[in-house]
Amino acid sequence: MKKFISKIYLALIIILLYAPILTLVVLSFNSSKTRAKWGGITGKWYVSLFHDDGIMNALYTTLVIALLSAVIATVIGTAAAIGISAYRQRTKSIFMGVTNIPMLNADIVTGISLMLLFIAFKFTLGFKTILLAHITFNIPYVILSVAPKLKQTNKSTYEAALDLGASPIYAFFKVVFPDILPGVISGFFLAITMSLDDFIITHFTKGPGVDTLSTKIYSEVRKGIKPEMYALSTIMFLTVFILLILINTNPKENKKTEHIINSKARKVSKLIMHRLIPATMVVVIIIGGFVYSKTNKTVDSKKQLIVYNWGEYIDPKVLTMFEKETGINVVYEEFETNEIMYPKISSGAISYDVVCPSDYMIQRMIKNNLLSKIDFDKVPNIKHIGSQYMKQSRQFDPTNEYSVPYCWGTVGILYNKKMVKEKVDSWNILWNKKYKDNILMQDSVRDSFAVALKSLGYSLNSADLDELNAAKNKLIKQKPLVQAYVIDQVRDKMIGNEAALGVIYSGEAIYTQKENPNLEYVIPKEGSNVWIDSWVIPKNAKHKENAEKFINFLCRPDIALLNFEYITYSTPNVDAAKLIKDPDIRNSKTAFPDPKDLDRCETFKYLGTKYDRIYNELWREVKSK
């Protein structure tokens, strides 16, 4: 009975561990494209997987990086382990600790630090940087598996070899190395496994156009999971599974019985270790090389365009349409914030062809001579961009020569008509005691100071200490009335009728109005912040003409409309705005305010580090009072 229960327990654990993987494997043979339906067994996803050049390239890159990084890390790691083992116990444990830390360190920290290091040393992010990163994180694993073997080896064998007349090098390769070989081999396989497995570090150290399977899958999955991905994941699982079996059955285990089956078993294991595995590697690299060079031929470097954009900031359809119409191959990369994007451009580590930064960042890039002028003869569709937006752009691009507006929005007050009966047209309503504990402010320095500065009639880019102090005092005065300083929750709380008034971005306001018809958005009469994200071409772009074609394509009203529907931020393309089907949105004052309202608005400007610090200091005073 007891046995029976323990068997059930074991079965449960195995089911829990492997059920997800089994599901994946089963789905990879499902001929129906949706997960919900079983359409019969098929191998077609595997076939189409092997016909997908992008994936096959990623597969080849993954294998090459795994093998190369494992080989190099094994050499370095083994040498390091031997060096470490020669130290006294205390030094040894310090060194082992130091080498173990990168392994325990969060991958994301390792990834970001490696990226920063590469950028600092002006490495071009790409294949080489991924390789270096993988070598770096593989070395500790090799050391970890070689060190115990060294500890086990009889120290006197090395001395014995020397004693019998062997030179130190001969003694190492003939005597020490064969002894630690099982550790070296399992370190090598462990390194391959870790390399195949890695996503985060690769994500941070890769350049545009280079993908390993993991980053490829990640970017594919964001667009919606294709069944080929199930097939690919199944293959990856099996590969790692087989590698792990190889690691765990390394030759040292059968030493005990070796003298019985002796020479035969030895020959077989020797054959596997010395011939089969290296031969397989060579074959993989050569075949992969053929496939790679063949597929690479189709990508003419002149027919390429490297785009660097915000995440989820373009309709994927638009990219394929562009590729089809122009025959230009788009390499598409995404960034999360302006601050992540900026160092990649300024370091020159990667030559992007077209980038979409925000207003203040464009100003900074122009100032630092990072952008090249756009040839507007090649961008005739610029005529569809509303003149008011070109005028607004002059705040950060004074001659309108460097940027083409793509998306924009304002900051204003969102209020609940059921709770606020009076007319809302001024920032000062946020200081009205009636709405105590019903006001939501943005938990961000520049946004909060913009509200206070504007309500006092100053510029939201003020660099006047008196004005800033006045704004600070005004924010402190407001503090007892504020329910909370939040960011994303403004949206949810306003939808849920939890507050009467909130400072919000127009793009989000459109969304809240769909969810709760009682909400109204207004740009106060004192003026506010308008933000614009525009396309620019960096100085080191290699395909400037393609970049201009791309910008021109995006300015086409039908394309701009597709993007507007996908992104839902306001479009500066007035002819696209006219094509919007839903009259509520087409005429929405939130999405498309009157030009005169916009005239009172300013974009944020880059104020320099000194004022960044002053703003932050004052904001801290506000928050701590």
Q: Which residues bind other proteins (CB under 8 A)?
A: 154, 156-157, 159-168, 170-171, 174-175, 178-179, 181, 255-256, 258-259, 262-263
- Nearest-angstrom CA–CA distance, 605 and 599: 16
Q: Which of 340, 400, 347 is nearest to 540 (CA)?
A: 347
Which residue number, 179 or 498, has a Cβ lying nearer to other proteins? Answer: 179
- Structure-block tokens of residue 215: 């980053």
CB of 350 to other proteins, least distance (A): 49
Residue type, 293: S
Residue 173: what are its φ and ψ, rounded to 5°?
Answer: -75, -30
C-beta of 159: minimal distance to other proteins in Å?
6
- Which of residues 274 and 317 has its CB atom nearest to other proteins in the complex? 274
Q: How far is the CB of 180 from other proteins (least distance, A)?
A: 10
CA distance 237 to 97: 31
> Which of 153/426 has CB closer to other proteins?
153
CB 281 to other proteins: min, Å: 23
Closest approach of other proteins to the CB of residue 251, in Å: 10
CB of 161 to other proteins, least distance (A): 7
What's the angle, vertex CA 323, arms to CA 320 and CA 327, rounded to 5? Answer: 155
Residue 33 CB, shortest distance to other proteins, in Å, is: 55
Nearer to other proteins, 106 or 169 (CB): 169
Q: In angstroms, what CA-CA distances link 228 with 22, 46, 341, 375?
A: 16, 7, 31, 42
When the beta carbons of 269 and 426 are compared against other proteins, the nearer one is 269
Q: How far is the CB of 167 from other proteins (least distance, A)?
A: 6
Cβ nearer to other proteins, comparing 32 with 262? 262
Produce one character per residue of 91-105: b if its CB has 16 or more CB atoms within 10 Å, e if not: eeeebbeebeebeee
Closer by beta carbon to other proteins, 179 or else 526: 179
Can you name the residues that pair with 440 across neighbouring β-strands? 484, 502
For residue 90, the minimal CB distance to other proteins (Å) is 13
The SS3 of residue 128 is helix
**Angle between helical axes of 213-222 and 227-248 (0-180°, round to 10):** 150
* 11 vs 160, beta carbon nearer other proteins: 160
Residue 255 or 367: which CB sits closer to other proteins? 255
What is the Cβ-side half-sphere exposure of residue 573, based on CA atoms within 13 angstroms?
A: 29
Give me the count of residues in the chain.
Answer: 625
Q: What is the DSSP string of 253-291?
A: GGGTTHHHHHHHHHHHHHHIIIIIHHHHHHHHHHHHHHH
Tokens found for residue 240: 């790692």
What lies within 8 Å, CB to CB, of 306 at 6+ separation is 208, 209, 331, 333, 350, 351, 352, 353, 354, 541, 542, 543
